[in-house]
Each structure stands twice: as structure tokens, then as C-alpha cells.
């Protein structure tokens, strides 16, 4: 796990590029505290900040080059199948200089060209300079676990692991994109390929891009293949267990100790149980003072059952201080409030290990968001869910509104996929956004929101609604929200987080399972097949726990800590957010009744204001 940055600028002298690259890499020191390396020549510069995990020697440093010095490579991430790839390449006559997993990419490129990325299994963002062809290959892993930004400036291309590094390059204007701000206030994050700055984009998951002759050619190199699954559920449980164990075992490859997060939930408990079969694991759980957040007693029971060396760390959170610290490492405004405890947990975890396994991705792959995937199951089960919703709202007990979950799910099930994408994820209503941004902005911006899932919907057009719902999450909110959160909050502390559920063999298998083996249209817990895999591994009754999630008591924190800050910053004359939003509408939103639902839109306003103030300060 590292940071990478670079520039390809024909005609620009090496001395000028060197100074630019030094500034870019300086912004990525937290991602790679173990050293920095550069390659600079006329017209091209590649930089790398290293977090040494595999091959800790000097030969593992980057940029790496091939035998004749014609190729140069920087990589952020890990290639889990590198041992097999290396053996095959050596049999083909390739000579290796190191024991690093990254070096296999150079030799794969010599064999397969830009198709080399299809051979890789792991999490990665990479940049490979082909000097004889004056061509740059950029690529991101299948699920977008590792980030990569690009910016075209005339005939020059800038790229980096984080947006701040591109800004530090000095040639790309830091002009905020109003469309990105609108999307952020709708979803709590800036969705790919947008970035918060005009002219800078994210590469999508499973995207490769080739820069040559001043042009960037972009292509998706992977989407899930149909695989044949077992017809008997018992056989499927066994087959899934084998695939998961193979993935977990691959994710343990490292030259430094690997630990694991353990919350006591199904996902993390399954990962730890399978890892414990192959290594003596250390596990980490943070005990929060708030009983609603604290999963430490459950995690303690799982750790004792599995026999791990367990670390339980008491953590007292100062929400205001934590928010200030976390925003400093947010590449873009990011209003998923679970980033705050994630930041705190990763800071503590770095004292225990340099690499940790996580259960992230389990919900999206196996159907853990029960409400969302139950809606998809209802869509597949009922011919006219909207009509049934209208009938239910006219009779007790739904008429009073006290029990509205089922009619609401039925109404969502009646929507087209693109409309349901927005309805299920939005943190503000379309009316609120119209008031904040004005009706002139709303039409185009709302259309842009609906374009976000369009590629995933097209890829899954003929799939069962449950499989399609899973894939839409895997392709959109998983990389843009969950994995972004984990990457930024962990790399802030130089911590590598690995996600064994996001192995493409596992994902393709899950998407081939009968939907009823994953979720149900009935109000029962999801991840049904994964629970069967976990049952013999974890203590009794762990599987009976309702899904908790890694959340903060947002409304309570708003009332006790954040609303005074919002009043001071967002409602004051000269507020940064007022550049893009109507001040009176911000005030009206702030003073509307708090209610029971989490007021994510208020938190999003505060985060945006704090983030914009940091950008202003950095620009001076």
C-alpha cells in the first residue's frame, strides 16, 4: 500500500518536472511513510511513496524498471496471485530483480501489453510508462479498492492516488465543480467519474486508460462473468466456504504481520475464523463508551472462541476534534459519518499492525442491506407493488403511518432502477436540493445523478432484480463511499486494510447464486448463504444478532457538538458553502425539526464548509 503520482508532459524539461513531482509526492507522505522514489526524464515523471509490505529490501522500492530499462512502474496496492504469475513468467524466460509482488506487472506487460491488468488479482492502482512507445498505462482494480485520479491539461496528463497531489502539482486549477457539490449534497460523497474539481476525474473500478499522443483512451476491462453454481444449497455452502478460504489465505501474504478488525458481526467473524486456520491472528476491536456503538463484548466472545490474540482498546471520542482531524485527510468532501470512528479505529490499529483484514464488502456481495435488497426481491415477486402499496396505505395499521416500512418498500419496488438508486441513497430530498441550489441548476444536476448507476444497470439489464441491486451497489456506492472511507481513513495513519470478500471469483460466484439463497422478500436477515458458511465457525447466537453497522449517534452529536459549529461557520456572512447554495435555504434546513431520521444533510453541510475552508487555506 502506497501513494503514486506523476506527470506526462511532452517537451517539458526534467528539471521542471522534478520540482513538480516532489510537490506531488510530498502530499502523499502519509500513504507511504517508508520512503519515496522517483523516475524523471524529459517529458515524464513518476513518483512513489512506499509503505513496505512485501519485499522490505531496497530491491522492492519503486519506481521499478524492467531488464532493459524501457518500462517504469509505480503501484499502490497488493497483487495476491503474484507467486503464480512470477513462476509462469520465469518459465517464459523473464528475470526478476526483486521478490516484490509489483514487479510481475512489468513482465506481464512485456507479454500481454495493456491486457496485463486482466491477469492481476488484488487491489491496485498503477501507472506504467512505456518509454519506447511514449505511452502511459493507468489502471484500477476491479472493485475500486485503490483510488486513482487523472487530469488533462493540454497535452499533459497528471495522475495521483489522491486529489491533493494533483493540486500540489501546480498546473491544474482548483476550480470547484458545482455539479459535484450538488451530487455530494444528494449522496454524501462525490461519485465517480466526477471529482470535486473541474477537469479532474476518477478512474472507475476495473478501468484502464492509455495516454498517448495527447489523448486518453479509457476502457472497462472486467465485468462479472456468468459462472455455473451448484444446484443444491448444501453444495453451494461448501463451494462458497472454499472460495472464501482461498481468498482469505491469499490476503495473508505479507512480509510484515497481518492482523484483523473484529467487530463480532458475521463478516469480520467469518474472515477472522478462516484466517486463523492459516496464521496465528491478532484481532482488534475498539470499545466505545456509547453502548449503542460498543460491540466489544461480542467481539471478545468471538476472539475467545477462535483463539486469537485479541486487543480491545477503550476509545473516548471527542466528536469536534475527531471531525477536524478526519477532514484533514478527506480528498473531497465526504459526509459518511462512519468515517469518524473509522479514523479513530485505524489510528489505534496502526499501533498493533501495519496490515489488517476487514469484512468490508460482505453486505454488498451477499445481500446484507436487508431493506434495499428486500425491495429488489419484492420487485421480482410482485407484479404491481405500487398498487399494493396504495391499498395498504388505506387500511389499518398502515393508514396511521405508524407502520410504513412495507408500503414504502413496495413504492420503491415500483420505481425504475435508476429512480430507486437516487431514492434509496439520497440524504436530501429533490425539493431541498432545489431550494439550496436553485431550479436552474436542478434539472441538469438531477440528470447527472441518474447517470451514475447507468453503466451498472446496463451491465445487469437481464439479471434478476436482486443480482442487479447487488451489482449496482458493488459498482457505485461500494467504491465511492465505503472503500473511499476505508482508504482515506486508514492511509491517514499508514495502515493497509485488505478486503477478502472483494475477490472477483467470490463475487462472480455470489452473483450466480439463486437470489433466495442471499435475501428474502420477507422481513428476515440477509446474507443467508454466508450465514450458513459462518455457522460452524463462530459462537452460538452470534448469527442471531441484528445487523448493527459501524455508525455514530449522529443526531445526538449534531445537537451536542456539531450544530453550534454549523451555526458559526455555515450561517455566518462569508460562509464558503454560500458560494454554491442559498443562505436562506441553508438556514431553513438548519432550523427544521430534528426528527428521528439521521440528519445527514446537516452533517454534509458542515463537512463541506470545513473542507472548503481547508482548500482556501491551502491555496494561500
2 is catalytic: yes
Whole-angstrom Cα distance, residue 13 to residue 172?
18
Answer yes or no: are the C-beta atoms of 15 and 4 closer than 8 Å.
no
Q: Which residues contact 40 (CB under 8 A, 6 or more apart)?
A: 14, 17, 18, 21, 46
All 3 cell numbers of residue 131? Answer: 518509454
The C-alpha cell 486494510 sits at 497
Answer yes or no: are the C-beta atoms of 357 and 275 closer than 8 Å.
yes
Q: Which residues contact 459 (CB under 8 A, 6 or more apart)?
A: 223, 224, 471, 475
Catalytic, out of 2, 20, 25, 116: 2
Whole-angstrom Cα distance, residue 226 to residue 511?
8
Q: How many CB atoms lie within 10 A of CB 446?
A: 16
Whole-angstrom Cα distance, residue 529 to residue 519?
9
Strands of 295-361, DSSP E:
309-314, 355-357
All 3 cell numbers of residue 434? Answer: 432545489
Pairing type for strands 215-220 and 258-261 reads: unpaired
C-alpha distances (whole Å) from 588 to each of 446, 584, 585, 593 are: 22, 6, 5, 10
Burial of 168 (0-12, 13-18, 19+ CB in 10 A): buried
Answer yes or no: are the C-beta atoms of 557 and 548 closer than 8 Å.
no
Strands of 244-391, DSSP E:
258-261, 282-287, 309-314, 355-357
Whole-angstrom Cα distance, residue 206 to residue 502?
13
Residues with a known catalytic role: 2
Amino acid at each position: 500500500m502506497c501513494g503514486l503520482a506523476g506527470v506526462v508532459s511532452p517537451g517539458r524539461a526534467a528539471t521542471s518536472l522534478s520540482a513538480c513531482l516532489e510537490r506531488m509526492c510530498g502530499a502523499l507522505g502519509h500513504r507511504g511513510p517508508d520512503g519515496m522514489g522517483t523516475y524523471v526524464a524529459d517529458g515524464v515523471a513518476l513518483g512513489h511513496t512506499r509503505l513496505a509490505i512485501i519485499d522490505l529490501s531496497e530491491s522492492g522500492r519503486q519506481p521499478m524498471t524492467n531488464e532493459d530499462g524501457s518500462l517504469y512502474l509505480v503501484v499502490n496496492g497488493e497483487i495476491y496471485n503474484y507467486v503464480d504469475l512470477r513462476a509462469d513468467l520465469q518459465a517464459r524466460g523473464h528475470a526478476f530483480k526483486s521478490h516484490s509482488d509489483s514487479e510481475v506487472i512489468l513482465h506481464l506487460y512485456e507479454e500481454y501489453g495493456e491486457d496485463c491488468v486482466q491477469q492481476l488479482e488484488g487491489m491496485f492502482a498503477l501507472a506504467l510508462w512505456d518509454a519506447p512507445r511514449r505511452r502511459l498505462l493507468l489502471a484500477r482494480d476491479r472493485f475500486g479498492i485503490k483510488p486513482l485520479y487523472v487530469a488533462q491539461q493540454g497535452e499533459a496528463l497528471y495522475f495521483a492516488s489522491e486529489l491533493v497531489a494533483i493540486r500540489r502539482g501546480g498546473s491544474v486549477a482548483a476550480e470547484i465543480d458545482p455539479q459535484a457539490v450538488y451530487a455530494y449534497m444528494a449522496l454524501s460523497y462525490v461519485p465517480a467519474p466526477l471529482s470535486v474539481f473541474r477537469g479532474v476525474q476518477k478512474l472507475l473500478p476495473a478501468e484502464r486508460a492509455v495516454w498517448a499522443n495527447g489523448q486518453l483512451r479509457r476502457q472497462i476491462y472486467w465485468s462479472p462473468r456468468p459462472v455455473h453454481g451448484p444446484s443444491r444449497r448444501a453444495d453451494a455452502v461448501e463451494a462458497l466456504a472454499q472460495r472464501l478460504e482461498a481468498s482469505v489465505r491469499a490476503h495473508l501474504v505479507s512480509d510484515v504481520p497481518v492482523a484483523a478488525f473484529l467487530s463480532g458481526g458475521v463478516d469480520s467473524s467469518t474472515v477472522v475464523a478462516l484466517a486463523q486456520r492459516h496464521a496465528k491472528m491478532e484481532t482488534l476491536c475498539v470499545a466505545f463508551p456509547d453502548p449503542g456503538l460498543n460491540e466489544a463484548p461480542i467481539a471478545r466472545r468471538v476472539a475467545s472462541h477462535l483463539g486469537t490474540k485479541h486487543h480491545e482498546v477503550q476509545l473516548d471520542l471527542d466528536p469536534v476534534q475527531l471531525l477536524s482531524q478526519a477532514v484533514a485527510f478527506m480528498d473531497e468532501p465526504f459526509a459518511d459519518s462512519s468515517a469518524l470512528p473509522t479514523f479513530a479505529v485505524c489510528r489505534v490499529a496502526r499501533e498493533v499492525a501495519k496490515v489488517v483484514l476487514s469484512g468490508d464488502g460482505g453486505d454488498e456481495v451477499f445481500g446484507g442491506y436487508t431493506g434495499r435488497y428486500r425491495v429488489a426481491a419484492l420487485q421480482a415477486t410482485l407484479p404491481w407493488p405500487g398498487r399494493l402499496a396504495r391499498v395498504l396505505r388505506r387500511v389499518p395499521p398502515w393508514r396511521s403511518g405508524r407502520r410504513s416500512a412495507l408500503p414504502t418498500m413496495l413504492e420503491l419496488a415500483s420505481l425504475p432502477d435508476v429512480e430507486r438508486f437516487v431514492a434509496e441513497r439520497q440524504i436530501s430530498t429533490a425539493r431541498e436540493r432545489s431550494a439550496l441550489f436553485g431550479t436552474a441548476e436542478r434539472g441538469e444536476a438531477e440528470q447527472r445523478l441518474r447517470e451514475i448507476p447507468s453503466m451498472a444497470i446496463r451491465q445487469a439489464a437481464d439479471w434478476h432484480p436482486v443480482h442487479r441491486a447487488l451489482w449496482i451497489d458493488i459498482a457505485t456506492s461500494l467504491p465511492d463511499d465505503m472503500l473511499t472511507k476505508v482508504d482515506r481513513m486508514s492511509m491517514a495513519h499508514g495502515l493497509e486494510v485488505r478486503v477478502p470478500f472483494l475477490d472477483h471469483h467470490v463475487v462472480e460466484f455470489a452473483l450466480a447464486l439463486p437470489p433466495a439463497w442471499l435475501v428474502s422478500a420477507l422481513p428476515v436477515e440477509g446474507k443467508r448463504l454466508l450465514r450458513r458458511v459462518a455457522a460452524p465457525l463462530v459462537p452460538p447466537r452470534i448469527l442471531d444478532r441484528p445487523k448493527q453497522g459501524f455508525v455514530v449517534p449522529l443526531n445526538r452529536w449534531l445537537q451536542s457538538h456539531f450544530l453550534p459549529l454549523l451555526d458559526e461557520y455555515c450561517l455566518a456572512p462569508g460562509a464558503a458553502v454560500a458560494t454554491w447554495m442559498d443562505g436562506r435555504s441553508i438556514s431553513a434546513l438548519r432550523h427544521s425539526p430534528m426528527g428521528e431520521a439521521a440528519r445527514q444533510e446537516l452533517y454534509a453541510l458542515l463537512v463541506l464548509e470545513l473542507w472548503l475552508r481547508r482548500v482556501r487555506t491551502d491555496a494561500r
